Amino acid sequence: MCSSGLSTQDSALSKHGRESHSTSDWACAPLRQHGATARSRHAGDVGVFDHRNHVLRGLFLSYILYRTKFPDSFAAASSHLDWKLGAFNTAVLIFSSLTMALAVYYSQVGDRRKLLGFLVLTIILGLTFLVVKAIEYHEKYVTHHVPGPFFGFKWDEPAGDPRQAEMFYYIYFAMTGVHALHMVIGIGIMLVLVLMAKRGRFTPEYHSPVEISGLYWHFVDIVWIFLFPLLYLLGAHIHSH
Amino acid sequence: MSEHVVSKKTYFLIFGALMVLTTLTVFIANFDLGPLNVIVALSIAVLKATLVVLYFMHVRYSSKLTWVFVGAGFFWLAILIAFTFSDFATRSWVVIAK
């Protein structure tokens, strides 16, 4: 519709040469931009959902296999993780998903100040998660729970094969490590969004970058929703008695 | 393509539900329910993930194409686990002569 309407305008203005083009570009810009927004949002949605299941799949599979093979060793090894820190981080990530959802909301209604505020809040929560994760990793390093030549695991009463507990920690570090890497990437994306929002790049008509980055952020949250019970709560009942 | 703006109230409700479910899964983990441990923990996790996907990720209001892609992701995950397990669980059924 836009182009046909303008083609007559174009021919009418054709004697002005290049000027006609700039006029048509300007007149068509809002419509064209809106069309591109709808299309890219669609493609972006689909792209993120296509991606989200591939990552970590293999690790989940190896977790299931080894846990089935060594159920008691996995529970014993898991009981040495601090479930309180894990639960705290779960709450932090869920809260960050809320702030991200609100950032998307304010990009939709076009409130730049609140969009910026919630993006920054999301970054702060993401960093909080990583700091807690670093504290946990350090504790595991000090207590020789990092797999490798210095791995030493203290068993409770019925001693099992230390290599089975080591396998749990291999999977623990691989899964939480890949997850943390996604968090770091996510924070990087948020920083870019903050810069773009500061320059006023987002409008109610054009905010797909915020929306699609939000999908990524929630995806990372979902991965943690599964990692928390599988890794931290597996042996939580052992020490509660 | 008109865009659906999810209300703030919905976001707060989902956040509350996710927090309650997290508390619940931590509480239940204190009891040894035997094989039910993993079933309960994963059921709660699946419920939480579903809430995030449907509301925070707006899939409830998205196009059919998005639904197909979400479904396809889980379908392939199911294939990966089911086929690997059918191999893993039946290894001892057939003894191959050396």
Cβ A122 vs Cβ A216: under 8 Å: no
Distance CA B20, CA B16 (A): 6
Give the model's pLDDT for residue A239: 65
Residue among A94, A210, A220 with most chain B CBs within 10 A, to mutate: A94
Q: Amino acid identity, residue B49?
A: A
* A148 Cβ neighbours under 8 A, 6+ residues apart: none
Query: Is pLDDT of B9 > 70?
Result: yes
Q: What is the dihedral of CA A130, A135, A139, A144, to 10 degrees?
A: 40
Give A126-168 pLDDT, tens digit per residue.
Answer: 999 999 999 999 999 999 999 988 888 877 767 778 889 999 9
Give B23-78 pLDDT, tens digit per residue.
Answer: 999 999 988 887 788 889 999 999 999 999 999 988 888 888 888 888 888 888 88
Structure-model confidence comparison of residues A47 and A240, the more confident one: A47
Contact B3 A105 (CB under 8 A): no
Q: pTM higher than 0.90 for the full model?
A: no
Contact B26 A218 (CB under 8 A): no
Tokens of A71: 């159920």
Within the 211-230 window of chain A, which residues sit less than 8 Å (CB to CB) from chain B?
Answer: 214-215, 218-219, 221-222, 225-226, 228-230
Q: Is ipTM beyond 0.85?
A: yes
Averaged pLDDT for residues A22-51:
50
Cβ B42 vs Cβ B77: under 8 Å: no
Q: Residue A103 CB: number of other CB atoms within 10 A?
A: 29
Provide the phi-psi class of B32: left if phi over 0, else alpha when psi is between -120 and 50, else beta: beta
Structure-model confidence comparison of residues A5 and B57, the more confident one: B57
Give A206-226 pLDDT, tens digit per residue.
Answer: 999 999 999 999 999 999 999
Nearest to A94 among B12, B19, B32 (CB): B19
> Does A159 contact chain B (CB < 8 Å)?
no
What chain B residue is nearest to A91 in terms of C-alpha separation?
B19
The segment with the largest mean pLDDT, out of A63-77, A97-111, A152-166, B64-78, is A97-111
